[in-house]
A and B are shown apart, each in its own frame.
Chain A
Amino acid sequence: MKITITVNGQPRELEIEPQETLAQVLRDHCRLNGLKISCDVQVCGVCTVLVDGLPVSACTYLAYEARNRKVETIEGLTTPEHGLHPLQQAFIDEFAFQCGFCTPGMIMSAKAFLDQNQEINDQDLITHMDGTICRCTGYLPIIRAVKRAAKVMGKTVRE
């Protein structure tokens, strides 16, 4: 079937199979390989992308469900005008990744949180991010990075 998805601001007309997941379509049809797949069962959060601004696990989200909606992936965060997104810079500055496999999903999940909240605190941040697993860092550097980015983005960070 033919559907249209707006991927990182660009409308894309795509020929898909009904059973294809958003992860498969983004990786295999759109060649957006920044999206990674790990657990396949919507537990690890590695495949997180934003659909109309909300985080979804692309590994179990049918591409069909994303028709006529806006999908954002890690590739959409960097723009020629602005360079790295504040979250991306903060992840580098705070050593908030090691192997980097969870990083695209982690950053997209954090972006959804920051986009929705003008004022953030540790508890809400941890609750929001709890659905994304990182096996390398022990999480603390990620929390620091999201808070650093929040400040850069003009959010209020309650310690």
Chain B
Amino acid sequence: MKRPGDFQTVNHSVPRLDGSVKVTGRAVFTGDVMLADMVHAKVLRSPYAHARILSVNTAAASERPGVIGVLTGADLEGLDPYYGHAVKDHPLLAMDKVRFVGEPVAAVIAIDELTAFEALEDIDVQYEELTPVMNVDLALDSDAIRIHEQVYAAGKFREFEDPQASRLSNICQEIHFEWGDVEAAFAKARYVVEGTFDYPKVYAYAMEPYTCVADVNDQGMIVYSCAQHPFIVRGDLASVFKVPLNQVRLIVPYIGGGYGSKSYTKIEPLTAACSWSVRRPVKLQLSVTEAMLTIRGDSAHVHIRTAVDENGKLVAREAKIYLDTGAYAENSPLVCRKAANRIVGPYRIPNVRVSGYAVYTNTVPASSLRGFGTAQVSFPGESQMDELAEKLRLDPVEFRLKNLAHRGECTHPKTSTASGAGKKERGALRPLDADILADVRLLEEVLRVGEPAPPKTGRAVGCSASDAGSKPVSSAIVHVYTDNSVSVLSGTTELGQGAHTVLAQIAAEEMGVELDKVRVIASDTGIVPFERSTGASRSTTVMGRVVLDACQDAIQQMVKMAAELWDTRPEKLAIVGGGVSFGKNHLSWGEVLEKHSEMAGFNIVGRAYLRQHGDLAQLPVFWEIGCVGLEISVDEETGKIRVEKLATVGDVGLAINPAMAEGQDLGAATMGLGVGLFEEMRYDGQELVNGSLLDYRLPRFSDMPGDIQLILAERQDGVGPYGAKGGGEGALNPIPACVANALYRASGVRIRELPLTPERVWRAIQEARRDQPES
């Protein structure tokens, strides 16, 4: 394998290929797409969390000048209106009931956005209010009102052991597994800590709100959307409209941020249904307020206990995780499964019992969000690591080093898993492919965790391990042209993470050409081959590897061509510097193609396809490591926390582009700070009460620490190209727990509910002072 120093393009911080279009305002996002004859839709949303729809009268709205059509749940005859890759429970417009405030009930299509918006007030909807189920406790009551009154079919991209998609309760998904003898281990333990932790509902705030342009006609449909996973959206649209896959063409321009919130299907079925109904191209552009009513991250209520023996070794962990999944399943069944896996952490724990529940409530649906269940469970898990270290009178770093699993160890052994009705054996997860102990030591060097901190400041480190990469089904095509230029055709979407630059770097490295000779053609399902998704930090690892394979396929073909030209056998040729040599003869790849085809402008096609097979048979594809540390100061008079220092270790195997890998870590850590310090979607009664950026607080320039250290650990220990592994989520996951642990060390208060707002911190400090008056 090539080592750092051997690479021409890879492992260099080359400028992003989307640089000049993004800094000049020329990058095209979905909202910039204009089609001839295009009209605009706006959505009428439910004012009730839970209500039966008695009638919808659209007559007055339809008669308004400029209105082209009005669509309601009653107008969808001929379609299969329910979508959902995991559970087919989500109607594109409310059918019989509404299940959250903000659910789309009707859409107006008009000549412009303002006309459509103004016509919404002319739609008269009569509701019969039902008892709203606003939280998990109410939803799990034995006599709870049911949010869904039917059993739905499983979605096609469920990828679950459990075939049952839903059951007649408010539990959308449950998962249970255990290994060892948990009861005996707790009985013998030296110390046990136990507690309940709450993680808030979070808004991803992709700065570009959901936007879609759909053109449905008898040739099929073309849909422009800011979708992270266009192929899965294609599948859902084919199912809704009962058409073959090849009639649905998804085109994804640049995406204005995703962070998981644009994974899977969102407003595409509704936009396409509007176009289907008026037979014209339709644009639906949501506002940020509407985006906040479209998807959020799962909140979590976790009851957890963890035990150690007298030598400071972890002996047992038991956890019950309750995710508030909102009104529809979206991706929460998978978030639930991942959260359950990840609450074990990167530690050796011989006795483990975990139950996870994704629970329907009458709130905005929850789904993937950067970290994907890990931050929700790292908060309790890493909080208890610090609690146990204190009981043992050990330094928290030393305690972690004692218990971290080593590379090659299996943290998740074979176990029986029960989800719903039946029990099933589940194979062991892939052994750890990272040296986290070394990562922690790198962190310790820059953060000096063990040294005394100034008064009212606290330091903390945190670790996490996420089973990442999703299901590795991926394909790519590479075109090589007679002028030595190269195109990569890939289904990976560019949402800012820099995947297109990384893929081009890999292709340039393999083909031996300059980076400016490579173009990436992406995310048009009519042109590029299948890619499951752009998420779970998979693109460098899985798509990167399949692009590398496609380059090799092209090279093999061109070596054969050259052998024919030189009338020799392919084995006699040597691949040298962007071409091929035979004795003293050398031809560039372009020359091989032009001489062989006797045609200028010719190109050949290299292709490759990966599936869950061979060295990718055992999941996860890789473990995504979170290893971060920070120092905070606390103003005890106001409760305000200021982050003074931040350090991250990106355990990425090999950074294809080191500057971009560091950028991912800083971006992820900053999102983690948001949740740690102030981000929370608040409900009061049936409604989201801070559903706009006036009230939802996000990290700003002035919140950033003055001292930021971004470290990359490159040990080439991943299954991706040149030993690479994914990044971009890990640095978020332990951050909220680090803030809580650092707060404890600064002020002696242990808070088990996020975010750690000034008010919450101040109250906790006041309470502690009352309980322990100074002597």
Taking a contact as CB atoms under 8 Å apart, the answer to whether A101 and B256 are in contact is yes
Cβ 8 A contact of A130, one of B24, B694, B702: B702
User: Does the CB pair A44–B693 fall under 8 Å?
Assistant: yes
Contact of B23 with A140 in the complex, beta carbons under 8 Å: no
Interchain CB contact (< 8 A) of B23 among A88, A135, A141:
A88
Q: Assess whether A154 is interfacial by the CB under 8 Å rule.
A: no
Sample of 30 A–B contacts (CB below 8 Å): A32-B25, A34-B24, A36-B31, A38-B207, A38-B256, A38-B288, A39-B692, A40-B692, A44-B207, A44-B693, A73-B25, A74-B23, A75-B25, A92-B15, A92-B19, A97-B22, A98-B257, A98-B496, A98-B667, A99-B495, A100-B21, A100-B496, A101-B29, A101-B208, A101-B256, A133-B207, A135-B257, A137-B663, A140-B704, A143-B701
CB of A111 to closest CB in B, whole Å:
12
Given the known interface contacts A34-B24, A98-B498, the answer about A39 and B259 at a Cβ–Cβ threshold of 8 Å is no
Contact of A35 among B25, B288, B663 (CB under 8 A): B25
The distance in angstroms between the C-alpha atoms of A75 and B25, with both chains bound, is 6
Set B206, B288, B660, B698: member contacting A40, Cβ < 8 A? B288
Bound Cα distance from A132 to B207, whole angstroms: 11
Are A138 and B667 in contact (CB-based, < 8 A)? yes
Given contacts A92-B20, A135-B205, A137-B666, contact A40 B287 (CB under 8 A): yes
**B208 in contact with A99 (CB, 8 Å):** yes
Interface contact A135-B663, CB-CB below 8 Å: no
Determine whether the beta carbon of B32 is less than 8 Å from that of A135. Answer: no
A30 interface hit (Cβ, 8 Å): no
Evaluate whether A84 and B24 lie within 8 angstroms (CB atoms) in the complex, with A95-B659, A135-B257 already known: yes
Contact A136 B23 (CB under 8 A): no
Chain A contacts with B in 16-75, Cβ cutoff 8 A: 32-41, 43-44, 46, 73-75
**CA of A17 to CA of B25, assembled, Å:** 26
Which B residues are in CB contact (< 8 Å) with A138?
Answer: 663, 666-667, 669-670, 699, 704, 708
B26 at the interface (CB under 8 A from A): yes
Q: Which of B19, B254, B288, B708 contacts A39 (CB 8 A)?
A: B288
Q: Quick one: which of A43, A98, A126 contacts B701, CB cutoff 8 A?
A: A126
Tell me, yes or no, whether A15 is within 8 Å of chain B by CB: no
Nearest CB of chain B from residue A76's CB, rounded to whole Å: 10
Interchain CA distance A141-B22 in the complex, whole Å: 15
Q: Whole-angstrom distance from the CB of B63 to the nearest CB of chain A?
A: 22
CB-defined contacts of A39 to chain B, threshold 8 Å = 288, 692-693
Interface residues on chain A, size class: 35 or more
B15 CB → nearest A CB, Å: 5
Which residue of chain B is the closest to A107 with respect to CB atoms? B23
Q: Which of B254, B496, B497 has the most CB of A within 10 A?
A: B496
Which residues in A have their C-beta under 8 angstroms from that of B208? 36, 38, 99, 101
Which of A41, A104, A141 contacts B663, CB < 8 Å? A141
- Interface residue? B600 (CB, 8 A): no
Q: CB distance B700 to A133 under 8 Å?
A: yes
Q: Does B255 contact A (CB under 8 A)?
A: yes
Interface string of B205-243 (1 = CB under 8 A from A): 111110000000000000000000000000000000000
Closest Cβ–Cβ distance, residue A135 to chain B (whole Å): 5
A156 within 8 A of B: no
